[in-house]
Amino acid sequence: MSRLRIYGIARTRAFRALWIAEELGLDYEHLPIEIGDAGARKPEFLAINPNGRLPAIDDDGFLLLESLAITLYLAKKHAQGRLYPFSLDGEARVWQWTMWALSEVDRGVNIWSLHAVRLPPAERDAAKRNEALGVLVAPFRVLDAAVARQPYLIGDEFTVADLNVAAVISRAIDMDLSGVPNLKAWLTRCLERPAARVALALKAEADAATPADVTRRIARTNRL
């Protein structure tokens, strides 16, 4: 039996954990549990993550929450110079971009995708969608400039910094990104990696199987 367990249906932020596990070629078990009372709020999962949120991992008895902490932990543990920089400066840049993704773009892309793609068409709110697009203009310009100078965020090589930022904004691939061509090319490059394709296929399968009521619940409970 695999000693790494990844909890969470791939439609959720569990996608991030699945992508890094694939990048690292890890032997893992995926437990595609659903949000809410159907899974993440059941007592047995609350014992793993008392927040009742996804994802979580169990790495041979070590429980870890927070999707981006999970990607950083697994990358640092297994990468051996690949994906996770050795140098203090390189590591700090990885943290910088990871925290940037969380604070600057995570919520905006989530709101946009719900009101542009995921909610049933009649329930999408154009005002929320446009507000989200407005919020993303400035940070997307910053990201566009960062990947205009070099192929990846830390330099010539793909690292967990790229994985974290690209995973957070992965649903933006369906946006009109013509105003930020370097960002678009970089995001495409990241999402076309074989490991990303495996995780994206799981995510697409989960998206297609998600009932509208679950999407409504995501929008409602997270005030998106």
Q: Smallest Cα–Cα separation from 15: which of 82, 109, 103, 96?
A: 109
Q: 53 vs 189, which CB is nearer to ligand GSH? A: 53
Q: 198 vs 214, which CB is nearer to ligand GSH? A: 214
Q: 160 vs 180, which CB is nearer to ligand GSH? A: 160
Q: 55 vs 139, which CB is nearer to ligand GSH? A: 55
Distance CA 46, CA 42 (A): 6
Question: Least distance (Å) from ligand GSH to the CB of residue 67?
Answer: 4
Record the tokens describing residue 170, joined without a space.
Answer: 């992965």
Q: 150 vs 221, which CB is nearer to ligand GSH? A: 221
Question: Least distance (Å) from ligand GSH to the CB of residue 45?
Answer: 10
Question: Least distance (Å) from ligand GSH to the CB of residue 160?
Answer: 14
Question: Least distance (Å) from ligand GSH to the CB of residue 178?
Answer: 28
| Region at 177 (left for phi over 0; alpha for psi -120 to 50; beta for the rest) | alpha
Which residues, including other chains, have CB under 8 Å from residue 19's CB and lie 6 or more apart?
A: 71, 163, 167, 195, 196, 198, 199
Question: Least distance (Å) from ligand GSH to the CB of residue 164?
Answer: 10
Task: Give the interface with ligand GSH as residue ranges (CB under 6 A).
Answer: 12-13, 35-36, 40, 53-55, 66-68, 218, 221-222
What residue type is 21 in one-letter code?
A: A
Rg (CA), the chain: 17
Between the alpha carbon of residue 206 and those of residues 14, 17, 166, the distances in Å are 11, 15, 19
Q: 105 vs 218, which CB is nearer to ligand GSH? A: 218
Question: Least distance (Å) from ligand GSH to the CB of residue 224?
Answer: 10
Cα three-residue angle 32-37-39, rounded to 5 degrees = 20
